[in-house]
Amino acid sequence: MQELAVLRGTIRPGTMKRRNQLGAWTEVALTGLMQEASAIADPGERIAFLSGHLLGTKYEESTLSLPGDPDEAFVINLAGVDCLTFIEYVEAMRRSASFAQFRDKLRIVRYRGESISFRDRNHFFTDWKAFNADHVVDVTAYLGAEKTKDVSKRLNEKEDGTVFLPGVPCRLREVTYVQAIHVSQRVRRNLKTGDYTGIYSRKDGLDVSHTGIVIKEGGSVLLRHASSLKKNRKVVDEDLQEYLRAKPGIIVLRPRE
């Protein structure tokens, strides 16, 4: 199903469109799922429960408006997700008990302030820490202790001075990450189910190259993520330690109560 509608709120009618594509879900079914999840007190376990229902969802990139689009569409697309929209939907769901609440919370997760625009979208993983600090806390330094590295990044600005995202301001940001070689047994033990995890990027202008959710089952520590690999192309669980081979490191944001 795809719906075109005017977003309620401070946006003037006719200036912005909303697109819903729920895939196999209905608004009623999603409301039931979120109501069931709202009875789970621990935020990480709630995230695990909700994200588990999205396992197998198709990987699809570029589901949101792109630079140059005349209007920013407020998109809900549960038929296909990329790594960032996947965790956006899960985070909005874990704060909601109905589809109407989910829609409103998704706006808060995805955008800054009241404006729904490409410029004001949270394009970077660490934007969550900067602009959603009431709901997530950066626990990277706690997890890595003396093994963490601090890097000053000018987000969105490439090495040659051009930008990844036209129209989006460049921001100087201190990024802390744990090198993958130091994601030890102690670090994995202190990770919690529901931790949002970004794979650190060495590229100028980027904080992470990928995102996912930590899931701990028995003695296993998994990364639940929307995988773009040809063998997957869907939301999957993979062993975190194996996934981090040849990766630079991780940034971890933990959901608050």
Q: Reduce the secondary structure of the chain to three states and give it as a string.
A: CCEEEECCCCCCCCCCEEEEECCCCCHHHHHHHHHHHCCCCCHHHHHHHHHHCCCCCEECCCCCCCCCCCCCCEEEECCEECHHHHHHHHHHHHCCCCHHHHHHHHHHHHECCCCCCCCCECCCCCHHHHHCCCCEEECHHHHHHHHEEEEEEEECECCCCCECCCCCCCEEEEEEEEEHHHCCHHHHHHCCCCCEEEEECCCCCCCEEEEEEEEEECCEEEEEEEECCCCCCEEEEEEHHHHCCCCCEEEEEEECC
pTM higher than the cut 0.85? yes
- Work out how many domains the chain is built from and give that number: 2
> 118: Cβ–Cβ under 8 A, 6 or more apart, which residues?
65, 67, 69, 72, 165, 167, 168
Co-location of 86 and 140 in the same domain: no
Co-location of 75 and 184 in the same domain: no
Residue 152 C-alpha from the chain's centroid: 22
Per-residue pLDDT of the chain (257 residues; tens, 9 = 90+): 222 222 222 333 333 455 789 999 999 999 999 999 999 999 999 999 999 999 999 999 989 988 877 789 999 999 999 999 999 999 999 999 999 999 999 999 999 987 899 999 999 999 999 998 999 999 999 999 999 999 999 999 999 999 999 999 999 999 999 999 999 999 999 999 999 999 999 999 999 999 999 999 988 999 999 999 999 999 999 999 999 999 999 999 999 98
Co-location of 187 and 89 in the same domain: no
What single-letter amino acid sits at 131? F
The CATH number given to whatever domain includes residue 58 is 1.10.3670.10
Co-location of 9 and 103 in the same domain: yes
> What was the pLDDT predicted at 18?
57
b (16+ CB within 10 A) / e for 23-40: eebebeebbebbeebbee
The CATH number given to whatever domain includes residue 135 is 2.30.260.10
- In angstroms, the CA 167 to CA 164 distance is 10
> What was the pLDDT predicted at 11?
33
Is 175 contained in some domain? Answer: yes
Domain that holds residue 21: 3-110
Distances (CA, A) of 62 to 82, 85, 129, 233: 8, 10, 23, 14
Co-location of 157 and 77 in the same domain: no
Co-location of 160 and 232 in the same domain: yes
